[in-house]
Every structure is written in C-alpha cells, then in structure tokens.
C-alpha cells in the first residue's frame, strides 16, 4: 500500500504539465488505480484496487470555481500548461476561472477526465505513456 509521504514525494517532482506522464508512471507503480484532484482547494484523493484511499489535504485557500465551463478557454490553457508554459498554481487558478471543478485520472484507461461543477465531462484526454 502506498502512503501519503510516497504520494507527496512523487508529486513534488512535477514542476509543470510536461512532467505529468512521469508522475503517472511513478504513482501507478505504487498501486494507485485512480485519483481525483479538486480545484477549489487542491486536495487529492488517491485510491487503490483494494479499497485503500489516501487523501492529500488542501494545498491553498479555497478558490471560487466558475458556475459553468468555458471549454475553449480551458483547453487552450491546458495546452499551455502541458507545454510547460505555466506552473501548477497558475493552471489551477485558470481552471477555476474556466469552470473546472475537478479532474479524475484512471490508471487502467490511462485517461484524465475534467469535470465542471455539475459533474459533466468537459474533456477526456489520453495520458501519454
């Protein structure tokens, strides 16, 4: 079973969206099957296949997430972040302003799904391997 410290160590290595695939590979090797990141305060729930869950506590003061998603603006921002043009807090702040409430990562499907406040899928992306 993975620990909060192992998750934090892996997460600390990610400096931009460009480092995301290596992060996914590392936590997958720990037994993480899926996780959800919540934009409003940055807490993350990591899960394994045997009902083990580790929660990384809130990382910043709560943000206001816009009531509806601006899909076009969000996708443009995501592309900038994936190219390493923005740091994590810049990306998170822009997710909130573009109406992204959370994202969910599936290690089995190797997808990242972004959701709005109503729980609607805004975007599903394949994670590079």
41: how many CB neighbours lie within 10 A of its CB? 13
95 within domain boundaries: yes
Q: pLDDT (tens digit, 9 = 90+) per residue, 43-87?
A: 999 999 888 999 999 989 999 999 999 999 999 999 998 888 988
33 within domain boundaries: yes
C-beta separation of 24 from 127 below 8 A = yes
C-beta separation of 69 from 122 below 8 A = yes
CA–CA dist 41, 51 (Å, integer): 24
CATH of residue 92's domain is 3.30.1810.10
User: Which residue in the block uniquely carries the two structure tokens 């996914």?
Assistant: 24
E strands, 25-107, where? 32-38, 44-48, 53-56, 102-106
For 79, the domain range is 4-124
* Domains in the chain, number: 1
In 3-state terms, the chain is what percent helix, strand and coil (to 5)? 35, 25, 40
Tokens of 104: 């969910």
**Residue 16 banded pLDDT, cuts 50, 70, 90:** low
Q: What is the pLDDT of residue 14?
A: 81
Tokens of 105: 């990562």
Q: What is the pLDDT of residue 104?
A: 97
129 within domain boundaries: no
Indicate the pairing of strand 121-126 with strand 111-115. antiparallel
């Amino acid at each position: 079973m993975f620990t909060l410290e192992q998750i934090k160590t892996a997460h600390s290595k990610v400096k931009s969206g460009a480092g995301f695939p290596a992060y996914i590979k590392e936590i997958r090797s720990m037994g993480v099957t899926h996780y959800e990141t919540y934009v409003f305060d940055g807490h993350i729930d990591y899960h394994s296949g045997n009902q083990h869950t580790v929660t990384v506590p809130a990382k910043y003061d709560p943000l206001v997430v816009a009531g509806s998603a601006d899909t076009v603006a969000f996708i443009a921002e995501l592309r900038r972040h994936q190219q390493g043009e923005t740091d994590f807090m810049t990306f998170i702040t822009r997710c909130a302003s573009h109406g992204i409430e959370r994202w969910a990562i599936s290690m089995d499907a190797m997808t990242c799904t972004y959701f709005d406040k109503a729980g609607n899928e805004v975007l599903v992306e394949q994670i590079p391997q």
